[in-house]
């Protein structure tokens, strides 16, 4: 088994890291204060092929693997996990559109989605259905020309900001088999948004409720088959779990890099604090956890790329482990900075806040445990 990255993969990581250092890191704190990511940033990602990482080349995408994608999101999160995570959401939507959109929608929209002139958000969660996603109540009733949607989606990154929304809505009976995936374009009649959510982290991402009140969409905006939406959603979440894990590890690596530099300069009791064995042990523990989580994540990505039957279980395990490791490492790095770590100027407190939500979204870590346990019991 070869654990080394290929030359191409190393180049992908370096490209994303350099882009983040130049185009994101210098502005991340201001974007957080402004509570918005400038829209002119996204086409720059598109120029690098990062607006459609997994979209096949025949649809205009980069045609990269899930493992390649984890490298991109880890590298970008070293600059800002909030921006990187938003890009991950768009990529999940782009991949879903490439696999399931009608030819009419593809010809009309796909080029702009790939270039990120059109930014797409994902709408699954509702005020009354988070972990129990199959209990969603947003309805999509058939009309002569398409579908009429009514319902509310909650905690939507890009709500009122993005150009289109993939909405999971109920077209049939209760349960997963009654859910379909629909594309709702910004400006559609009956589409509106709640107020800006005041969040702990990811503050540069505008987050709002997405409200659908007799919102009509044409038939061609149905993605794939009617009643298959929940299947598409779960497939998308496997990749999303890998990406959010990578975002946690990238942020944690940035925290480690900053901490190593700080400890080599900060003096106490007559010597730099990196000379104290107790603090060296904390650094060592952080490094061990990071390396183990990174290896675990890449194994899960490899399983998803190769179609392994236990890929979903490994994506869940990697997500649970890597997001918790990322938060522990960042918190440890803040502690090693002492009082300075608590100040916004040093960037550690932002990483602590940004990473906390990673244990909640893409399926809570409690749901990840449930997935793993069910697989264990099924396979005994």
- DSSP reduced 3-state for 213: strand
| Among candidate residues 163, 152, 55, 70, the one with its CA nearest the CA of residue 100 | 55
> Cα angle vertex 98, ends 183, 68, to 5°?
125
Find how far residue 290's CA is from the centre of its chain: 19
| Among candidate residues 315, 288, 287, the one with its CA nearest the CA of residue 299 | 315
> Phi and psi dihedrals of 217, rounded to 5?
-130, 150
Going by C-beta distance under 8 Å and a sequence separation of 6 or more, which residues neighbour residue 204? 28, 31, 32, 34, 35, 36, 37, 80, 82, 83
362 is catalytic: yes
Are the beta carbons of 83 and 37 closer than 8 angstroms? Answer: yes
Catalytic one of 32, 185, 324, 362: 362
CA distance 87 to 22: 17
Are the beta carbons of 154 and 127 closer than 8 angstroms? Answer: yes
User: Known catalytic residues?
Assistant: 362
């Amino acid at each position: 088994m070869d654990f080394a990255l290929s030359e191409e993969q190393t180049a992908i990581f370096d490209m994303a890291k350099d882009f983040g250092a130049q185009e994101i890191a210098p502005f991340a704190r201001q974007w957080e204060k402004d509570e918005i990511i400038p829209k002119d940033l996204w086409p720059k990602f598109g120029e690098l092929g990062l607006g459609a990482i997994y979209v096949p080349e025949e649809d205009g995408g980069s045609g990269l693997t899930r493992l390649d994608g984890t490298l991109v999101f880890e590298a970008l999160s070293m600059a800002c996990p909030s921006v990187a995570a938003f890009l991950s959401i768009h990529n999940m939507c782009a991949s879903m559109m490439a696999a399931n959109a009608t030819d009419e929608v593809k010809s009309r929209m796909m080029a702009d989605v790939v270039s990120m002139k059109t930014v797409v958000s994902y709408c699954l969660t509702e005020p009354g259905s988070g972990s129990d996603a199959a209990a969603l109540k947003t309805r999509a009733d058939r009309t002569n020309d398409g579908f009429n949607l009514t319902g509310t989606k909650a905690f939507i990154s890009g709500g009122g900001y993005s150009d289109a929304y993939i909405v999971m809505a109920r077209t049939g009976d209760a349960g997963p088999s009654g859910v379909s995936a629909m594309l709702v374009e910004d400006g559609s009649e009956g589409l509106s948004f709640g107020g800006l959510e005041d969040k702990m982290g990811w503050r540069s991402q505008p987050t709002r409720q997405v409200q659908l009140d007799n919102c009509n969409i044409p038939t061609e905006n149905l993605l794939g088959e009617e009643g298959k939406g929940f299947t598409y959603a779960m497939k998308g979440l496997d990749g999303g779990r890998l990406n959010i894990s990578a975002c946690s590890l990238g942020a944690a690596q940035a925290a480690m890099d900053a901490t190593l530099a700080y400890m080599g300069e900060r003096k106490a009791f007559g010597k730099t604090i990196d000379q104290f064995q107790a603090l060296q042990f904390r650094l060592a523990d952080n490094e061990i956890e990071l390396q183990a989580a990174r290896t675990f994540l890449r194994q899960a990505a490899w399983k998803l790329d190769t179609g392994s039957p236990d890929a979903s279980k490994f994506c869940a395990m990697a997500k649970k482990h890597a997001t918790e490791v990322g938060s522990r490492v960042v918190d440890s790095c803040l502690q090693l900075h002492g009082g300075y770590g608590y100040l916004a100027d040093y960037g550690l407190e932002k990483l602590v806040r940004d990473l906390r939500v990673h244990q909640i979204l893409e399926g809570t870590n409690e749901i990840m445990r449930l997935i793993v346990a069910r697989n264990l019991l099924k396979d005994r």
